[in-house]
């Protein structure tokens, strides 16, 4: 139980580890949203990898926040259900 810990530092250590683990999971979810968006825009594979690595390294907090928001807003499901922006006319004609 939590009563066996001797100091506040131990609580801080546990809370920090739990927070970092949860944030990492949301970061992975945010990367998934980013990859889905890039795939939906039909970018070349090289540019997809380059942008995912660049965004993941430089904007990791932003990607984590996208993952947190995606938990409630479900961006990936919405992206899969609608056709891409430039191809809507083509999509409707050939459906």
Give per-residue pLDDT as tens, 52-78.
888 878 888 888 888 888 888 887 777
Beta-carbon contacts of 91 under 8 Å, excluding residues fewer than 6 positions away, are 83, 84
User: Which of 9-18, 37-46, 51-60, 71-80 is predicted least confidently?
Assistant: 71-80
Per-residue confidence band for 83, with pLDDT thresholds at 50, 70 and 90: low
CA distance 29 to 8: 32
Q: Name the domain count of the chain.
A: 1
Q: Which domain holds residue 44?
A: 2-93
Q: Would the pLDDT of 49 be above 80?
A: yes
Q: pTM for the full model?
A: 0.64
């Amino acid at each position: 139980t939590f009563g066996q810990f001797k100091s506040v530092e131990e609580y801080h250590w546990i809370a920090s580890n739990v927070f970092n683990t949860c944030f990492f999971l949301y970061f992975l979810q945010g990367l998934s949203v980013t990859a889905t968006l890039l795939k939906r825009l039909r970018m070349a594979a090289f540019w997809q990898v380059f942008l995912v690595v660049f965004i993941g390294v430089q904007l990791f907090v932003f990607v984590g926040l996208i993952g947190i928001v995606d938990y409630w807003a479900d961006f990936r499901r919405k992206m899969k259900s609608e056709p891409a922006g430039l191809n809507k006319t083509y999509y409707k004609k050939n459906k």
